[in-house]
Amino acid sequence: MTVGVPPELVPELPRHLYTYHGVGLGQIFGPEETRAILAARLQSLVQGFSGVSLPLLRQLERLLTEDLLPVIPQEGSVGASGDLTPLSYVAAVLCGEREVLVDGVRRPTAEVFAERGIAPIRLLPKEGLAIMNGTAVMTGLACLAHERAAALSRFSAHLTALASAAMGGNPHHFDALLHSAKPHEGQQRAASWIREDLQGSEHTESRLQDRYSVRCAPHVIGVAEDALPFLRSLIENELNSANDNPLIDPESGKVMHGGHFYGGHVALAMDTLKNVVANLADLMDRQLALLVDTRFNHGLPSNLTGATGTQAAVSHGLKALQISSSAWTAEALKNTMPASVFSRSTECHNQDKVSLGTIAARDALRVLELTEQVAAAHAFATHQAVWLKQRSGAKLPEKVASFASALELKPLIEDRALEPELRALLSRMRTFSLPGML
């Protein structure tokens, strides 16, 4: 339905647009996510096809430079006609309304603007749509997700090398000639990372073949490595696009109505990314299960306990950590259901085919969070396993020993609550300050 608007009411339309979309619910996006959303929206608007004024761009830039972060609820976007509801919170803040996060505290935007000498803007007729009718939320989140996934992929290869060395695995599973016969570049790259870490390793065990979670690790990690460049191209194209509607040709003034707000490419990228990342979680969890089990860990103590003598009878080692790792993995795998296939017809069937890209991006971040937790558990376990091997007098490859040492973890001798150490390890992982993460 087309509704005619009297000329005198046209200036009121942008405020009505962001006001009635103030219906978001759920958790609030964190500071890093909100900065990514603002940066993605600014990057799209500066392409020059959105019909916005320089004062709007400057106001958006100021939110970033002064770290005044709109309080944006995570839920309420179907990812077509853009991220309307979450981006309405950005539009409202530009105009001095709703709330901003300042130094971790939620405060009224009007109050903060007054303190900083920032004048609220009044949106011009096209500017409400330009801010809200785009894919900035899903795209900003996708940028963060891709970076974390790439770090996890590399990290899981290093952890595989530690697990293999600790269990006396066969290093020839990662032979360059072997992997040249199946020329997936990502698989070959993953094999080379593991091979380099195991350089100098001697195969002293009688078994020829390790279990799949070790032997096939390059094939699992390789899927992620081969997918990530393609997914990055989708995300980068979206980031560097004009994705609102309508677009305006600045040369001719032609107004072009289309559907660039549709987030299908980001939806595909995020649905695919959460699949490959969850597979990394499953890989690491299976390796951890081998490490703690005396039937499969080739001489390591049960649950990798470091206790000896009579104290060993009451020491449980990493039994609970393996259980938790399994729980995190199961939840990650459960969340791999693709969001993009659940399109719903909305807005009286105007938005009758939607991308659900923002839900896919949020899902991907949750899968990443869970997989990082599995990686932290794996890192602790492999560090413990390497320490136990060294305590027994075994000589390990130099890079394996060096990598384990760089994790800066304390061996587990008697039972202790590991949560604080795991949280600290996760923090280092998420700032890419651990060796081998990027």
- Closest C-alpha among 377, 425, 364, 360 to residue 150: 364
Q: What's the mean pLDDT in 354-368?
A: 96
Give residue 3's pLDDT.
74
Query: Region 407-428: what's the mean pLDDT?
Result: 95
H/E stretch holding 177? helix 176-180
Beta strands 105-108 and 247-248, pairing class:
unpaired
DSSP three-state, residue 226: helix
pLDDT digits (tens, 9 = 90+) for 52-102: 999 999 999 999 999 999 999 999 999 988 899 999 999 999 999 999 999
The predicted-structure confidence for 235-278, as pLDDT tens digits, reads as follows 999 999 999 999 999 999 999 999 999 999 999 999 999 999 99
Domain assignments of the chain as residue spans, ordered by start: 8-134, 138-430
Q: Please enumerate, as own/partner, the contacts of 403-409 that have beta carbons within 8 Å and a separation of 24 or more.
A: 403/158, 403/161, 403/162, 403/197, 403/435, 403/436, 404/162, 406/434, 406/435, 407/379, 407/383, 407/434, 407/435, 409/379, 409/380, 409/383, 409/384
Amino acid letter, 380: F
The answer to whether the CB of 136 falls within 8 A of the CB of 41 is: yes
Do the first three CATH levels of 8-134 and 138-430 match, i.e. the same topology?
Answer: no
CA atoms of 225 and 153, how far apart (whole Å): 7
Across residues 360-371, what is the average pLDDT?
A: 98
Check pLDDT > 90 for residue 45. yes
Mean pLDDT of all residues in the chain?
A: 94
Q: Which residue has the higher pLDDT, 12 or 182?
A: 182
Q: Measuring CA to CA, how many Å separate 205 from each of 39, 168, 209, 400?
A: 54, 6, 10, 18
Q: Alpha carbon of 80 to those of 14, 39, 245: distances in Å?
A: 19, 20, 11
Nearest to 353 by CA among 361, 336, 341, 362: 341
Lowest-confidence region among 204-213, 218-227, 293-302, 397-406? 204-213
The type of residue at 82 is G
Pick the CATH number of 138-430 from 2.60.40.1180, 1.10.10.60, 1.20.200.10, 1.10.3470.10: 1.20.200.10
Sorting pLDDT into bands at 50, 70 and 90, what band is 43? very high
Per-residue pLDDT, 82: 87
Residue among 399, 369, 375 at smallest CA distance from 145: 369
202, pLDDT greater than 80: no
Residue 187's SS3 state is helix
Q: Report pLDDT for 110.
A: 98
Pick among 1.10.275.10, 3.40.1410.10, 1.20.1600.10, 3.30.1370.110: CATH of 8-134: 1.10.275.10
User: pLDDT category, 203, cuts 50, 70, 90?
Assistant: low
- Indicate the residue type of 48: G
The maximal CA–CA distance of the chain, rounded, in angstroms, is: 87
pLDDT in tens, 206-230: 678 999 999 999 999 999 999 999 9
Question: What pLDDT is attached to residue 204?
Answer: 64
* pLDDT for the residue 327: 98
